[in-house]
Structure formats: structure tokens, C-alpha cells
Amino acid sequence: MLYKLLMYVRLNKASWKGRLFKLVYQGKHVKIGSNFKCDSFPDLQITQNGQLIIKDNVTFRRNVEVRAHNDAAITIASNVRIDRGVRILGANESKIVLEDGVRIGLYSVINGGNSVKIGKKCLISGFVYLQTSMHRYNNDGPIQDQGYTHAPITLEEDVWLGAHVVVLPGVKIGQGAIAGSNSVVRKSVESGQIVGGVPAKILKDRTNS
């Protein structure tokens, strides 16, 4: 009987940890829906005006980090799965939105100095970097002292980003588009296009295949 109980706890530990996390962190600035699961407590940093909303049936694997600084708001919709080591940062007045059914692979980073929208059923592979901020680099002093420029990133529904893709500020990737592994996407991509390379260029159009 004890063995069965231990096995039950082991097999359902993500559910138990999710319930405990919700019990501890649910409040004015953190809203968590039903059936939240986590392999370990996420590293959560929410400043006074930040907000985090996690909807139903969301799963975090180990060592997920979520930060909402300043007036940033992060919304994770239902049926989202986030793999281990993922970092989601919202700052300034950014709105970070992961819509229903999004999958994010291990150790990917969403760096939201400006807003990021990831559409329904998007598939983001491991070690992907979505970067909405860029250092200024004029000749007025050290680069690290010059601050940042910001521009939003949008992924429409059903976008697939391969492993190690980098998406730079101001990029919009249209519905059903694909960025091949190791691409650096610095210009917007039309719906259905397949791009790859550094910088990313059009390789194929899915609508014509």
C-alpha cells in the first residue's frame, strides 16, 4: 500500500507541485488557472506593477524563469507547455502573450523589453532567442551606457522556429511560416514562407509546394 502511494505521488508530482505553487503565489499580481503543473517551482519575479496570468492546463518543466518588471504583463494561455530552462522576461510596459497551444523548447529566451505575441499552436524549438531590445552603439561613450532601442515581435498562428533561431526587434512572422535552425531573422516573414540562413532569406513558399 505504501509503495502504491509513493508511486502515485511520484507519477503525479508535477500536479502536486503545481497546486502548491498556486497556493503560495496566487494573488493580486499572479493569477493561475486550473490543472497547472510544474516539475519544479519556477523562478518568479514580479515587481509591484507587474502581472502574470497563467490559464488552464499549462505545464512548466524544470527551472523555468518568469519575470515581469515595471508595468509589464505576461499572459500564458491554456494548453501551453514550456520546457526546462526557458526564460520569459517582460519589462517596461510590454505585453507578453503566449496564445493557446504554444510549445516552447528547452532553454529558449523571450526577452520582452517591448511586447511579444506568440500565436496559437506556434512551435518554438530549443535555444531560440526572441529579442525585442537592442543596444544603441553610437560614438557617445561605452555601448553598455547608451541604453536600448525597442520594437515588438509578433509570431502569428502555427509558426515553427527551428533550434537556435534568433528573431530580432520589429520582426513579424506570418501564419504558418518556418525559420530553419540557426537562422537570424531580422526582417519580417510573410505567411507560409520558409526562411533560413544568416541573415535569413526566403528558401521556399509552403503555399506553392
pLDDT band at 134 (very low <50, low <70, confident <90, very high): confident
Express each pLDDT in 32-76 by its tens digit. 999 999 999 999 999 879 999 999 999 999 999 999 999 999 999
Q: What is the pLDDT of residue 28?
A: 86
pLDDT above 80 (res 207): no
User: Whole-angstrom Cα distance, residue 118 to residue 177?
Assistant: 13
pLDDT above 70 (res 5): no
Tell me the three-class secondary structure of 44-98, residue by residue: EEECCCCEEEECCCCEECCCCEEEECCCCEEEECCCCEECCCCEEEECCCCEEEE
User: Whole-angstrom Cα distance, residue 24 to residue 36?
Assistant: 13
Q: What is the pLDDT of residue 1?
A: 55
Bond before 169 cis per omega within 30 degrees: no
126 versus 147: the higher-pLDDT residue is 126
| Average pLDDT for 112-118 | 95
pTM of the model: 0.90
Pick the CATH number of 2-135+145-208 from 3.30.310.220, 2.160.10.10, 2.60.260.20, 2.60.40.420: 2.160.10.10
| Average pLDDT for 90-114 | 96
Residues whose CB falls within 8 Å of the CB of residue 208, separated by 6 or more in sequence, listed in order: none
| Average pLDDT for 141-157 | 89
For the chain, give the mean pLDDT: 91
The values of phi and psi at residue 183, to 5°, are -75, 150
| Average pLDDT for 123-142 | 89
